[in-house]
Chain A
């Protein structure tokens, strides 16, 4: 039932249509078919379909076989990949036909190649996926919301998720984000206003994601009917952006706090841009700044200008980044030290187009460094040239560094001292104190502690010193070393000793003065009062015999007075200028001389003298004194002899250090030293009933000995004997 009209319609159909019989031979086909699917352009009528058709997938062949067997097959669009790699999207509809219905047995085939369109869609989806930009569509007429796959991916929902408007909005984070989207969508619907915003959604899996949501409105008769838009995952970008913002903010605060000025110099336009800190550092009013390179370079100190400009040129020419210290001069004339760093930015061709950098004020640092250097230098100079000995000492008392003064005081060179510890030459008696002191310094914090101690000079002499120590701590608070000051007070101590000796001399002289006073106040006076009294009696007396008696007494009193005056004269003579008359005298010779002069007395007493005197023993003495002393001691031994024994006197001499000790030992009466010890050498002290006891001999002897820097002492036992020890300087 082929009619011409039908055939024409079929031929001219805009779609590819073919009609086949049950044997799959063409009954008819449209021009489109022939154009699109035929292998060659020969006539296909009554020829088998598969003889002249481009490569088709197997499923098409199966579908066609089913079709001629009465089974309809619809394919709405399917992608086929052929073994040769060719990709084709096909869409078909195969309708079975029976002769009773359509006048023939076979099938009608609608076939469409949608490869090009599908490829576009596929690309779009790919693009969506790659760009993480999804699309959405809100149909306001039937109130449906469509999301593309990427939109769903961004929301982290499954592909079969069907959203609605309320759900869509609820994905936005509660609070400002949800309020904002609600407002924007509302405005779009009511006023047709498009939107483009960046907000946070909470995905189905609970992740926070930054998205950019864009919405366009389609209007119909002034009413919004559809909203379409994109939905983009900008989380990474947004986070970077926010982080950048945060870092920028931080940088700004940092540079401000650190007072670092930053600048940007556009080389092409010769335009210099400064931040706030730069103006502050250069002390230039922002409004007066010309913004050119010259404004910066004119601030630089003339002495630093050449160097700084050269460094700038090197930086521009890419030789070396700018990293210089230079001085600038403020308008008020003050000089600041500036540190500058820069980076040069180049274009693709390697030409410098821009420089960016930072400047900061290091004046304080420089001046602190300068002061530190000065103070270090000063310390080193002070240390070396100090009149006081100084040393750096390790915690275990090793010398680390000593100055000239110290090595002079101790007699060792610096090299020698550094090899020993301070304890090596400390006086043994001062070691416990020094150790105690060392520990005190360790725990004493920063206190300056002092100690007076003795050292041995290299030549063996004692060096007296006052030590002051100041511990220096490292960053951990441990003592790294100790600064020790060493004040040599040897001279002072020597002077003090001399002074003490002088005080002793003064004391003894004072004692003598007291004795003079005593003589004057008592002895002279007693004679004079006696005479006064006797003369008074004499005047009143009438009895001749009594007058004679009184006259005799007056004579005695007069004699006593002149005797006392003679004693006084002796004492005064001892006291003056003995030291100038010192000579070297042989002890033995002097003793022999004395014994000769009292030979008569010795013989009368049948006394025995035993001499044990080395003739090499010489003393520093005044000859007359030495004779007087020996004479006095010897005559005392005879005067106070024991009645029942003949006197035996041993005289010995021996060397004791720089002195010679001479001893006179007798076997006489002895004296009770417990009773009279204090007074034995005192003036007018007598302890025996003896007619010649005047209490003046030993007093003068003692004074004579002491005036020659000697000393006298006594040992005695009542009724056994007495030993007198005389110590004089060896000559």
Chain B
């Protein structure tokens, strides 16, 4: 199975980042993984990549509760710089929140593909791999 070129995790929880990276390795999800610990850092980093014309991630796993710039705020900001990008980036919300209001709110963001409840499992990743590679 083909791997994803570049995948990005935006999450402030180091344990989650560790676990996710470990599972990705297990299922052979991506060739390389970018990690940002909050939304602001991710926005800054991705914008820098864009300007430097370096490859952008194919998939982003985005946490919602983060300091400085949370997941929602990141989505709003990221939407603003969409025009600068040519490549379609698939974004997965990945959160431990089972709050129905969060699930509802996701629908307002069409660049978001799916809401995935933590913890992420190998099956989730395999499924995502399937759809992304297919497209």
Contacts and interface: CB of A to CB of B under 8 A. Distances in A.
Interface of A: 517-518, 521-523, 525-526, 529-530, 532-534, 537, 553, 556-557, 675, 684-689, 693, 695
Contacts of B97: 518, 521-522, 525
Contacts of B98: 521-522, 525
A687 B68 contact: yes
Interface residues of B, number: 19
A557 B18 CA distance: 13
A521 B68 CA distance: 21
Nearest to B121: A533
B94 to A, nearest CB: 11
B92 to A, nearest CB: 16
A167 B14 CA distance: 149
Given A530-B119, A534-B15, A695-B67, 19 more contacts: A518-B99, A521-B97, A522-B99, A525-B96, A525-B98, A525-B118, A526-B65, A526-B96, A529-B96, A529-B118, A530-B19, A537-B22, A553-B18, A557-B15, A675-B73, A686-B68, A687-B68, A688-B68, A689-B68
A693 B99 contact: no
A624 B73 CA distance: 36
Instruction: Specify which of A517, A518, A529 lies most central, judged by the most chain B CB atoms within 10 Å of its CB.
Output: A529
Contacts of B19: 530, 533-534, 537
A609 to B, nearest CB: 28
Nearest to B41: A689
Interface in B31-52: 38
Nearest to B118: A529
A533 B22 CA distance: 11
A561 to B, nearest CB: 11
A687 B67 CA distance: 6
Contacts of B13: 526, 530
B14 to A, nearest CB: 8
Contacts of B15: 530, 533-534, 553, 556-557
Interface in B67-115: 67-68, 73, 95-99
A526 B19 CA distance: 13
27 contacts: A518-B97, A518-B99, A521-B97, A522-B95, A522-B97, A523-B65, A525-B96, A525-B118, A526-B96, A529-B118, A530-B13, A530-B15, A530-B19, A533-B15, A533-B119, A534-B15, A553-B15, A553-B18, A556-B15, A557-B15, A675-B73, A686-B67, A686-B68, A688-B68, A689-B38, A689-B67, A693-B67
B96 A522 contact: yes
Contacts of A689: 38, 67-68
Contacts, number: 58
A526 B67 contact: no
Given A537-B22, A689-B68, A532 B99 contact: no
Contacts of B68: 686-689
Contact of B99 (A521, A534, A557, A684): A521
B101 to A, nearest CB: 9
Chain B binding surface, main DSSP class: loop
A526 B102 CA distance: 15
Chain A binding surface, main DSSP class: helix
Nearest to A524: B96
Interface in B9-33: 13-16, 18-19, 22
A687 B66 CA distance: 9
A63 B53 CA distance: 177
B42 to A, nearest CB: 13
Instruction: Specify which of A533, A534, A685, A689 lies most central, judged by the most chain B CB atoms within 10 Å of its CB.
Output: A533
Contacts of B22: 537
A675 B22 CA distance: 35
Nearest to B101: A514
A684 B65 CA distance: 8
Nearest to B117: A529
A689 B98 CA distance: 26
Contacts of A517: 99
Instruction: Specify which of B14, B18, B96 lies most central, judged by the most chain A CB atoms within 10 Å of its CB.
Output: B96
A553 B15 CA distance: 7
A521 B99 CA distance: 6
A218 B73 CA distance: 144
Contacts of A685: 67
Contacts of B73: 675
B69 to A, nearest CB: 8
A688 B41 CA distance: 12
A529 B119 contact: yes
Nearest to A525: B96
A676 to B, nearest CB: 9
B63 to A, nearest CB: 9
A529 B63 CA distance: 14
Nearest to A679: B70
Contacts of B99: 517-518, 521-522
Contacts of A675: 73
Contacts of A687: 67-68
Nearest to B99: A521
A529 B16 CA distance: 9
Instruction: Specify which of B14, B73, B98, B119 lies most central, judged by the most chain A CB atoms within 10 Å of its CB.
Output: B119
A528 to B, nearest CB: 8
Contact of B67 (A525, A529, A534, A688): A688
Contacts of B119: 529-530, 532-533
A556 B15 CA distance: 9
Instruction: Specify which of B15, B19, B65, B99 lies most central, judged by the most chain A CB atoms within 10 Å of its CB.
Output: B15
Contacts of B118: 525-526, 529
B61 to A, nearest CB: 14
Nearest to B63: A526
A693 B66 CA distance: 11
B53 to A, nearest CB: 28
A519 to B, nearest CB: 11
A699 to B, nearest CB: 14
Contacts of A518: 97, 99
A713 B19 CA distance: 40
Contacts of A557: 15
A675 B118 CA distance: 28
Which 6 residue pairs across A and B have the least CB separation, nearest first?
A686-B67, A526-B96, A522-B97, A529-B119, A530-B15, A533-B19
B27 to A, nearest CB: 14
A201 to B, nearest CB: 115
Nearest to B96: A526
A534 B13 CA distance: 13
Contacts of A526: 13, 16, 65, 96, 118
Contacts of B38: 689
A114 to B, nearest CB: 147
A361 B112 CA distance: 96
